Amino acid sequence: MNFFTPVSGLTHRDPVDFIRRIFVEKSCVDLPYTREILSRAGAIPVEVLDDRQTPESGLNPYPESLAQGKRDLFLCRNRGKFFKSCPGTREYRCCGYYVLNIGMNCPMDCVYCILQAYLNNPWLSFFVNVDDLLSELTQAVVVQNKGFLRIGTGEFTDSMALDRLTRLSGILVEFMRDKDSAILELKTKATVVDHLKDLDHGGRTILAWSLNSQEVMAREEFRTAPFEARLAAAADCASWGYRLAFHFDPIIYHPGWKEGYAETVERLFDSVPKESIVWISMGALRFLPALKSIAGKRFPNSRFFHEEFVPGLDGKSRYFRSLRVEMYKHLFDLISRRASSDTCVYFCMESDEIWREVFGFCPEERGGLPAMLDRTVE
């Protein structure tokens, strides 16, 4: 068993330690990037599959097969688009993000993870045709001149969970270095950041961590980095000149939530220089109805899905508005006491009414949420 020691010196198991098998699509075997990844794979067994054949992740149907599938890494070609605008919804204020699709599924395992209901196959896919990815990114960022772009890689996976094998974040950081019309945000619950230390990042990459109360992080997130390790990795990145972001998402109601979130906020600002934080988002738990039964079967000891929820305008279940507002106000008050006035605190997918009730204004009054975020990093 390998233990990963990040620059901070805190030791814990990296998500890559849980991968049991690597499958490679035949036409990708000789790509230099595939070879590079396999050279870091140590003793993990590798099997080559015919093109368009997929890994066999056990006999169980989906989602039961996720337990094994999350340990099967499939290195393959992305035959679709790498780059697209984030789907968002019409009903809630969305932040105008672009997403770079680097792979599907995640080796970590959070009870609330929406991917369990979105995906229909269990294995971890990672796209190795990185030259195609970079040429699509060049088209979008350099050639097409679509205005200022905020780009993330974490729509269908965690941005950095496989970095110990892939080092993709380093490739992207170096690509973005001189792209003044865009910013990349790498959102993660992992802490492999040592390879980012000596890179010339040009300030164009933001390192972002999802945070929660310590109880939620400990009980509802499996194989993720412990809270202390996330803070230490963030502090390291700040010391190397990277800008940071944090996402309180999903905010989950549980006994002791007020104290739990207060402690997280205090420890965050005790650990990381507030000037390095460009934005902090808040999003209360929301989920597709199918997720409740999937996660309920996979994690029968988890209790938070048993609270009362109402269907939102986007079909997702949410807490009652009064509870959402109470949780947001509490967290915003805690954050406001410690954050820099230059940090943009915002909601992920909430209505104008909630914005007004909690922040006292709605995004349109300040040019819209995309413009508010752009202004903090342009």
Closest approach of Cβ 338 to ligand SF4, in Å?
25
Q: Which is nearer to ligand SF4, 49 or 208 (CB)?
A: 208
* 238-242, Cβ contacts within 8 angstroms, sequence gap of 24 or more: 238/272, 238/273, 238/276, 240/196, 240/197, 240/201, 241/201, 241/203, 242/196, 242/201, 242/203, 242/205, 242/206, 242/207, 242/276
Choose which of 189, 201, 204, 316 interacts with ligand SF4 (CB under 6 A).
Answer: 189
Q: What is the DSSP string of 199-223?
A: ---TT-EEEEEEE--HHHHHHHEES
Closest approach of Cβ 367 to ligand SF4, in Å?
30
Largest alpha-carbon pair distance within the chain?
57
- Residue 28: Cβ within 10 Å count: 21
Q: Which is nearer to ligand SF4, 96 or 154 (CB)?
A: 154
Q: Which is nearer to ligand SF4, 157 or 317 (CB)?
A: 157
Q: Which is nearer to ligand SF4, 182 or 217 (CB)?
A: 217
Closest approach of Cβ 212 to ligand SF4, in Å?
11
Closest approach of Cβ 6 to ligand SF4, in Å?
17
Q: Which is nearer to ligand SF4, 179 or 223 (CB)?
A: 223
Q: Which is nearer to ligand SF4, 49 or 190 (CB)?
A: 190
Show the site string, 92-121: x = touches ligand SF4 by CB under 6 A, - = not: --------------x-xxx--x-x------
Find the binding residues for ligand SF4 in span 206-225 (CB under 6 A): 224
Sequence length of the chain is 378
| Tokens linked to 132 | 């195609």
Find the binding residues for ligand SF4 in span 151-170 (CB under 6 A): 157-158
Give the number of residues in contact with ligand SF4, rule: CB under 6 A.
10
Through-space distance between the first and last CA atoms of the chain, rounded to whole angstroms: 43
Axis crossing angle, helix 257-271 with helix 227-239, rounded to the nearest 10: 30
d(CA 224, CA 222): 5
Axis crossing angle, helix 257-271 with helix 321-338, rounded to the nearest 10: 30
Closest approach of Cβ 14 to ligand SF4, in Å?
13
Q: Which is nearer to ligand SF4, 287 or 309 (CB)?
A: 287
d(CA 104, CA 156): 5
Q: Which is nearer to ligand SF4, 114 or 371 (CB)?
A: 114
- E-state strands within the chain: 21-25, 46-49, 72-76, 83-85, 98-100, 103-104, 109-110, 124-127, 149-152, 182-188, 205-211, 221-222, 243-251, 277-284, 286-287, 310-311, 317-318, 344-347
Closest approach of Cβ 110 to ligand SF4, in Å?
3
Residue type, 151: I
Q: Which is nearer to ligand SF4, 141 or 217 (CB)?
A: 217
Closest approach of Cβ 269 to ligand SF4, in Å?
23
Residue 354 engages ligand SF4 in binding (rule: CB under 6 A): no
Q: Which residues bind ligand SF4 (CB under 6 A)?
A: 106, 108-110, 113, 115, 157-158, 189, 224
